[in-house]
């Protein structure tokens, strides 16, 4: 295997972050971690709640962040893996079935593909204006019996699959790809931001036991729920740390700039009550965790995730956030941290998505986990998008 250069671009509402990694040569049996060789960031402009409202502003922000990363890495970026976030991201589950094709009733990859295709066809009329980003198989049944593991090679007359589909608005997808392509970079693959972050924020043990990863961004809070190493649910809420800044500004009657500094702990003054500030922040954070708890109740996982909630994103640094999460969700809670290695090139958890994209790019299509299977379906989406590009 020859050395590869992989780039991840995270177009967030607050900042555009770019990470460039080098994947060293390795033997097939070795698993080599990508080495970060360059990072870049720029203030995001032209976005609202994670979707593009002014393409030219977004293009300028992406160009600026990419140029910074290219200079640090000493390479030119031609292709990149891109994160798709924003309130347009949603989920829908579906069940598909197929009669096995072989005379001896042995189940093949073709049968699995047909069953998943059937599950997708059943939801298309329910998701107008949307496109499937990821199709993740949750469980298989053969002749009504649950299969533990992969069904390939087993025998049966009827194969059923329950599939989790991660969807986004077609227009948001087109706008994002157009903006990236306009900078002269071709989009290799697209991944939902919460899944990208999970590559570097969660351990295998946490995913296996069951956990929820919550990314508190500027204008959105996104969560992904794992169980038995599989992402079983993903949701984005239109609320974020900017709402906390606004609450502080209104509650303390101070300018927004001052409220942002106070929220980040970079400013203290005798002109306001620390107790009142804590009450303002706690009220909004409690609202966020109540939304998460309501979603966990809807998928019957409230209070049932042993690895608890792992909090990341720009809003994760607020004081008492762990205690509030623990109380609201009745789950263990912790703040996610990135590995301090990599020569300090990524400084905090806000880089999780762009770095996770690089990890995703470095993993092969042969990955045997559900996300690896989802990767194989992505090229169909890019083929579909390409027909609309100039």
388 or 328, greater pLDDT: 328
How does pLDDT run across 228-244, given as a tens digit for each residue?
A: 999 999 999 999 999 99
**Angstrom distance (rounded) from CA 50 to CA 166:** 16
Residues 242 and 365 in one domain: no
Output the pLDDT for position 376. Answer: 44
The CATH number covering residue 224 comes to: 3.30.420.40
Q: How many CA atoms lie within 13 A of 193 on its CB side?
A: 34
- Band of residue 213 on the pLDDT scale cut at 50, 70, 90: very high
Least confident range from 54-63, 172-181, 190-199, 264-273: namely 264-273
CA–CA distance, 238 with 103 (Å, rounded to integer):
51
Number of compact structural domains in the chain: 3
Claim to verify: residue 71 and residue 186 sit in the same structural domain: yes
Least confident of 14-23, 199-208, 220-229, 374-383: 374-383
Task: Check whether residue 64 and residue 189 sit in a common domain.
Answer: yes
My answer on whether 231 and 145 are in the same domain is no
Give 333-359 as a DSSP string. EEE----S-GGG-S-SGGGHHHHHHHH
3-state helix, strand, coil in the chain (%, to 5): 40, 30, 30
Q: Could you report the per-residue pLDDT of 239-263, keeping only the tens digit for each?
A: 999 999 999 999 988 899 888 888 8
Query: What is the domain range of residue 371?
Result: 4-87+170-200+340-376
> pLDDT tens digits for 357-387?
998 888 864 444 555 545 444 445 554 444 4
């Amino acid at each position: 295997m020859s050395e590869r250069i992989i780039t991840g671009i995270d177009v967030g509402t607050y900042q555009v972050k770019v990470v460039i990694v080098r994947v060293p040569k390795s033997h097939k049996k070795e698993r080599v971690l990508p080495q970060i060789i360059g990072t870049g960031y720029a203030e995001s402009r032209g976005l609202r709640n994670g979707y593009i409202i002014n393409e030219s502003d977004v293009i300028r922000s992406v160009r600026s962040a990419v140029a910074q990363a290219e200079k640090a890495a000493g390479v030119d970026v031609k292709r990149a893996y891109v994160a798709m976030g924003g309130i347009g991201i949603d989920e829908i589950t579906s069940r598909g079935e197929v009669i096995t094709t072989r005379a001896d009733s042995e189940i093949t990859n073709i049968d699995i593909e047909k069953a998943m295709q059937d599950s997708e066809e059943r939801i298309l009329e329910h998701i107008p204006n949307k496109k499937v980003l990821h199709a993740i198989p949750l469980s298989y049944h053969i002749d009504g019996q649950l299969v533990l593991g992969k069904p390939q090679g087993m025998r049966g007359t009827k194969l059923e699959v329950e599939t989790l589909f991660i969807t986004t608005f077609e227009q948001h997808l087109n706008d994002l790809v157009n903006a990236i392509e306009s900078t002269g970079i071709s989009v290799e693959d697209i991944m939902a931001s919460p899944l990208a972050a999970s590559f570097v924020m969660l351990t295998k043990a946490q995913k296996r036991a069951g956990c929820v990863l919550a990314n508190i961004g500027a204008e959105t809070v996104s969560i992904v729920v794992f169980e038995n190493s599989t992402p079983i649910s993903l949701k984005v809420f239109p609320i974020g740390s900017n709402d906390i800044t606004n609450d502080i500004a209104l509650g303390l009657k101070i300018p927004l700039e001052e409220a942002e500094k106070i929220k980040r702990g970079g400013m203290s003054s005798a002109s306001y009550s620390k107790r009142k500030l804590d009450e303002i922040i706690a009220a909004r954070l409690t609202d966020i965790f109540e939304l998460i708890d309501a979603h966990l109740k809807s998928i019957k996982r409230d209070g049932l995730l042993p690895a608890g909630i792992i909090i990341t994103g720009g809003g994760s640094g607020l004081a008492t956030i762990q205690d509030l999460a623990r109380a609201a969700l009745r789950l263990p809670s912790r703040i996610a941290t990135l590995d301090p290695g990599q020569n300090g090139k990524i400084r905090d958890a806000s880089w999780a998505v762009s770095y996770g994209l690089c990890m995703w790019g470095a993993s092969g299509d042969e990955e045997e986990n559900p996300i690896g299977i989802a990767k194989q379906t992505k090229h169909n989406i890019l083929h579909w998008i390409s027909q609309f590009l100039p």
